Amino acid sequence: MREGNCLVEAFNQTRYRISGHSRRNVQVLKEAFQSIEGQLESDMYGGGKVIEEFQEKMASYLGKEATIFFPSGTMAQQVALRIWCDRKGIRKVAYHPLSHLEIHEEEGLKKLHLIEPILLGDKNRVVELEDIVSQAGDVSCVLLELPQREIGGQLPDYNTLVSISEYCREKGIKLHLDGARLYEVLPYYQKSATELCELFDSVYVSLYKGIGGIAGAILAGESDFIKESKVWKRRHGGDLISLYPYIISADYYFDLRINNMERYYQEAMELAGFFNKSYSAFTIPKVPVSNMFHVHFNEAKENVETILMELYQATGIGWTGSVKATSDSSCYFEVSIGDRYREIPQAELKKAFQMLDERMKAIQ
């Protein structure tokens, strides 16, 4: 615990960061609103120009009939799964064992919607068609998360997606995309958002991860599905009188960063290469398929943290504020490339990796 807090403190002192776009501070909002006229009217309970225009823009980008802005992905996805369950009359869905719904939402899906999840396949790999065929049974909906964040952002082949989509349609199972990091996987698949979303009946995308907005999510699908979502959004308490602080910033950062995804992906591959060439670290996936990956060490968390703190102080480069133990003698941290990576001086980055090798060798 003490070590962990020290790492955060050391991380907070660093000048450069390998992950993210910028500090999550009020400046993010100020920048987005700088060129917005004060006279622009607020949205009102889901209506009004600000929200409707953004929803239409996202519908067009995702190639879906309609979209609806939600304050959070947690709310958007529960609502999507509830609608599909109600339509089929079966409160069962299937997803990866490390889905956000399973591990980060305090069982909202079960407690609020009484929906039973079937955990597909193995937690250490992505969901394959065989998992769905053998395990999903009569579920109303299968949720796929692209990329699978908790295992470093891994992806199934595009052909696997196509075959899963075909299988689900054939079996009357709705296919939902947890696209929290959808934009970030498009360069790997070499597909447009529309092409990827065509495989899914409903799609959620985040507005604060790759895009770097303040908060918020978009749920996309056919018009009647979105109309029903609006009712559930109200029930959840998400139909706020004003959501414009999130919408305007999402819109601003979408335009600013949507075309940077290829660069983040290339930079993630470069950086993962540095880790894999180092003495003691390896990445999962070995070659990133998006802007993210996990950096693993066969070394105790406390030792890795101590070395990271030294590195931060010596180079001014912050790698992470949070290392997670996977056993007594192994640990990892997450990397997610954004605007900040390219600000790091190459010489300092090289020095950091040299130091990492030296220190790791010294404790063996």
User: 30 or 169: whose CB is closer to a copy of itself?
Assistant: 30
**Region of 3-11, 27-35, 149-157, 332-340 interacting with a copy of itself (CB under 8 A):** 27-35
Residue 235 in the binding site for a copy of itself (CB under 8 A)? yes
Residue 76 in the binding site for a copy of itself (CB under 8 A)? yes
Burial of 293 (0-12, 13-18, 19+ CB in 10 A): buried
The residue from 9, 53, 56, 106 that contacts a copy of itself (CB under 8 A) is 106
Per-residue DSSP letter, 65: S
**Region of 20-28, 59-67, 136-144, 197-205 interacting with a copy of itself (CB under 8 A):** 20-28
Residue 94 in the binding site for a copy of itself (CB under 8 A)? no
d(CA 220, CA 176): 10
End-to-end C-alpha distance for the chain, whole angstroms: 23
Residue 251 in the binding site for a copy of itself (CB under 8 A)? no
Residue 54 in the binding site for a copy of itself (CB under 8 A)? no
Q: In 3D, which of 215, 177, 229 has the Cα closest to residue 199?
A: 177
Residue 30 in the binding site for a copy of itself (CB under 8 A)? yes
Listed in sequence order, the residues at least 6 apart from 240 whose beta carbon sits closer than 8 Å to its beta carbon are 45, 71
Tokens 């060490």 belong to which residue?
297
69 in Cβ contact with 217 (< 8 Å) = yes
d(CA 9, CA 292): 23
Phi, psi at 217, each rounded to 5°: -150, 160
In the complex, least distance from residue 39 CB atom to a copy of itself, rounded to whole angstroms: 6
Stretch 143-172 residues interacting with a copy of itself (CB under 8 A): none
Residue 190 in the binding site for a copy of itself (CB under 8 A)? no
Stretch 294-313 residues interacting with a copy of itself (CB under 8 A): none
Residue 23 in the binding site for a copy of itself (CB under 8 A)? yes
Which H or E element spans position 69?
Answer: strand 66-70
User: 27 or 192: whose CB is closer to a copy of itself?
Assistant: 27
**242 three-state secondary structure:** coil
Residue 20 in the binding site for a copy of itself (CB under 8 A)? no
User: 240 or 284: whose CB is closer to a copy of itself?
Assistant: 240
**Region of 22-30, 58-66, 120-128, 270-278 interacting with a copy of itself (CB under 8 A):** 22-30
**Region of 51-59, 75-83, 155-163, 260-268 interacting with a copy of itself (CB under 8 A):** 75-83
Strands 330-336 vs 324-327: parallel, antiparallel or unpaired: antiparallel
d(CA 70, CA 326): 34
d(CA 238, CA 166): 33
In the complex, least distance from residue 38 CB atom to a copy of itself, rounded to whole angstroms: 3
Residue 208 in the binding site for a copy of itself (CB under 8 A)? yes
Query: Is the dihedral angle over the CA atoms 128, 133, 135, 141 positive or is it negative?
Result: positive
Give the binding site for a copy of itself (CB under 8 A): 23-30, 33, 36-42, 44, 70-76, 78, 105-108, 111-113, 208, 214-215, 231-232, 234-246, 248
